[in-house]
Amino acid sequence: MSFEDNLIPWIGKTGKLIGATLNKILKDKNINLTREQFVILKLLKKNNGIPQHDLAFITESDKTSLSRLISNMEKNNLLIRKSTKEDKRIKNVYLTEFGLEIFKITEPIILESIQKFQKGITDNEINQAIQTISKLQNNIIKEHSIKLCDKK
Amino acid sequence: MSFEDNLIPWIGKTGKLIGATLNKILKDKNINLTREQFVILKLLKKNNGIPQHDLAFITESDKTSLSRLISNMEKNNLLIRKSTKEDKRIKNVYLTEFGLEIFKITEPIILESIQKFQKGITDNEINQAIQTISKLQNNIIKEHSIKLCDKK
DNA sequence: TTAACATAGTTGTATATGCAACTATTGTTT
DNA sequence: AAACAATAGTTGCATATACAACTATGTTAA
């Protein structure tokens, strides 16, 4: 068996390319937001007030990286942190008006880009690839009970 | 259209997971090599003496990042750089005996891991996913003539 | 009840990354 | 040939990342 027959290198390389390209597109459009920050905004849009460690879990980030990412975004008024009364350790993260505004500007740009990326690929092909990658993801998470984050 | 129907976020997230997991596996096995370094060794194994900027192009790395990656690997005796007489700007990169040794130790570990990751996924599914991702990659490279590297 | 442990988050430190600016060499134009 | 541009690679700097150690709070158990 060789590497070229395996999905893993393909995903690694293409993932890198996608990340770099999306960041570049945002920068070229003068949007002061990284791809990683956009993902946070998207999660908050769907689930406002989510605790930091849930964000770390979902994004598969180290909690310290996420802490600093959130700090930067808070400095830029994209979101705010609020400690809960029930558990003073937890800081819930809320989208600000400005954060929502930036999200609404950025979302169509990202969607347009990824549609361009997927041009000429059928819905069926996309769904099948998603299913396969999903299996892969489950295998990795199960086989190695990875401590990328502190989630119990 | 929503994000969940798109391949792009799946690839991004899974790519991140794969990278982190492989690096962790290597570390746990006490192999002093990152995934990125392994990729370089693999390329040199196949194409010994390749110039640095070709390595940067193939790995989609910034030339400065690659320069430092190669410097570190040279310090660890995994490879050596040699300027060519024909063009003194170019530095060709050669695998050392030690580098080859480390590669031979590491390769089966990586292969075993990625086979575990792909458990329960048929060859057909893998090939289809590779084809789809390949199309995606081409689209990205063509649509945006990205200057991730300096290749003409 | 208090000692031990677990959890959420931050900060210190080391390392990795990428852009800009630089050196050195080669290619092109006039 | 001299001036200019292009190319390969390195270094400076700013930022991102992750592990370890830390603080603060909450939970469990003797």
pLDDT for the residue A5: 74
| Confidence (pLDDT) at B3 | 66
Residues in chain A: 152
- pLDDT for A2 equals 65
Compute the CA torsion angle B59, B131, A119, A124 (nearest 10 deg): -140
Length of chain B: 152
The pLDDT, as a whole number, for residue B5 is: 73
pLDDT of residue A152: 31
pLDDT value of residue B22: 93
B2: nearest CA partner in chain A: A111
CA distance B57 to chain A (A): 12
Q: For residue A141, what pLDDT is reported?
A: 87
The per-residue pLDDT for B150 is 35
Facing residue for A24 by CB, picked from B35, B132, B146: B146
Which range, of A2-11, A41-50, B33-42, B109-118, averages the lowest pLDDT? A2-11
Strand C close to B61 by CB, under 7 A: yes
Report the candidate in A21, A60, A39 with the shortest Cα–Cα distance to residue A103: A39
Mean pLDDT of chain B: 90
Which residue carries 């031979």 as its tokens?
A: B104
Q: What is the pLDDT along chain A (152 residues), one digit of tens a residue?
A: 566 678 999 999 999 999 999 999 999 899 999 999 999 999 999 999 999 999 999 999 999 999 999 999 999 999 999 999 999 999 999 999 999 999 999 999 999 999 999 999 999 999 999 999 999 999 998 876 543 333 33
| Residue B29 in tokens | 């096995």
Closest partner residue to A14 among B1, B16, B133, by Cβ?
B133
Q: With a cut of 50, say whether residue B151 has pLDDT above it.
A: no
Residue of B nearest to A135 (CA): B121
Distance B150 CA to C30 C1' (A): 28
Q: Judge: B7–A126 Cβ closer than 8 Å, yes or no.
A: yes
**B152-CA/D5-C1' distance, Å:** 14
Sequence-distant (≥ 6) Cβ neighbours of residue B148 within 8 angstroms: A17, A20, B60, B61, B62
From B32's Cα to the closest Cα of chain A, the distance in A is 20
CA diameter of chain B: 56
Neighbours of A78 (CB within 10 A): 23
